[in-house]
Amino acid sequence: MPAFDAAMFFLAATTFFAAFVNGAIGYGFSSLTVPLALVFYTNRILNPAIVIIEVFVNVYVLSINLKGVPAVWKRIFPILLGLLLHISLMVSSDFARS
């Protein structure tokens, strides 16, 4: 088990504070955690950890607010459609280059 050094303590404190802000206003976890944590950890180590945490947090928030999805679905559907269209175009252009 790795030693619990000052960088890991700072990352834990920053993550706790960012989770507190995210719980209070619903935004800001990555915006607070990433810039401060990049001082101690490289982007290659930090990004996968933050993405995993964010996926679980967002699934949890979605499950809590599932009753509100029909109310916002009409506004979200065009965004999702455009996102999927652009992702498919980017993936197909990457395959065409290789």
Q: First-to-last CA distance in the chain?
A: 41
The pLDDT tens digits for 40-59 are 889 998 888 888 888 888 88
Q: Structure pTM?
A: 0.60
Residue 63 confidence class, pLDDT cut points 50, 70, 90? very high
pLDDT in tens, 5-50: 888 888 889 889 988 888 888 788 888 888 988 988 899 988 888 8
Residue owning tokens 């933050």: 50
Cα–Cα separations (whole angstroms), residue 90 to 18, 76, 81, 83, 93? 32, 21, 14, 11, 5
- How many angstroms separate the CA atoms of 51 and 34, rounded? 11
How far is the CA of 13 from the CAs of 36, 37, 76, 79, 93, in angstroms? 11, 10, 34, 35, 42
Reported as a pLDDT band with limits 50, 70 and 90, residue 95 is: low
